[in-house]
Amino acid sequence: DQQVKQNSPSLSVQEGRISILNCDYTNSMFDYFLWYKKYPAEGPTFLISISSIKDKNEDGRFTVFLNKSAKHLSLHIVPSQPGDSAVYFCAARDSQGNLIFGKGTKLSVKP
């Protein structure tokens, strides 16, 4: 059973608009969450993270929101740019310090 779920396999957004990528998790013991971005034929690149003691973390155009009671986090990208087109993975750190990944959401930002 998947502990980290990204229920939208794909998302298409117009350039300049907001992209919202969602992620749900089942294990309340997860205490650190990360978003990675992946281009084809490359490894995932770290984007932004959030500790479970916070509900928001912002870095430039990227903001991650955490709702612990709902076991839900989201990544907001605003404004979206064509270069943001990639697969975005949500990940959670377990008690061993390992990262558990979702299946990813493919974001397409159209000019």
Partner 1 sequence: DTGVSQDPRHKITKRGQNVTFRCDPISEHNRLYWYRQTLGQGPEFLTYFQNEAQLEKSRLLSDRFSAERPKGSFSTLEIQRTEQGDSAMYLCASSLEEVRNTEAFFGQGTRLTVV
Q: Return residues touching partner 1 (CB under 8 A).
A: 4, 6, 9, 31-32, 34, 36, 41-46, 49, 51, 89, 91, 93, 96-104
Shortest reach from residue 22's CB to partner 1, in Å: 14
Looking at beta carbons only, is 21 or 102 nearer to partner 1? 102
Backbone dihedral region of 83: left (phi > 0), alpha (psi from -120 to 50 degrees) or beta? Answer: alpha
Buried b (16+ CB within 10 A) or exposed e, 16-42: eeebbbbbbbeeeebeebbbbbbeeee
Q: Quick check: helix, strand or coil at residue 83? A: helix
Looking at beta carbons only, is 42 or 111 nearer to partner 1? 42
Looking at beta carbons only, is 53 or 111 nearer to partner 1? 53
Shortest reach from residue 102's CB to partner 1, in Å: 5
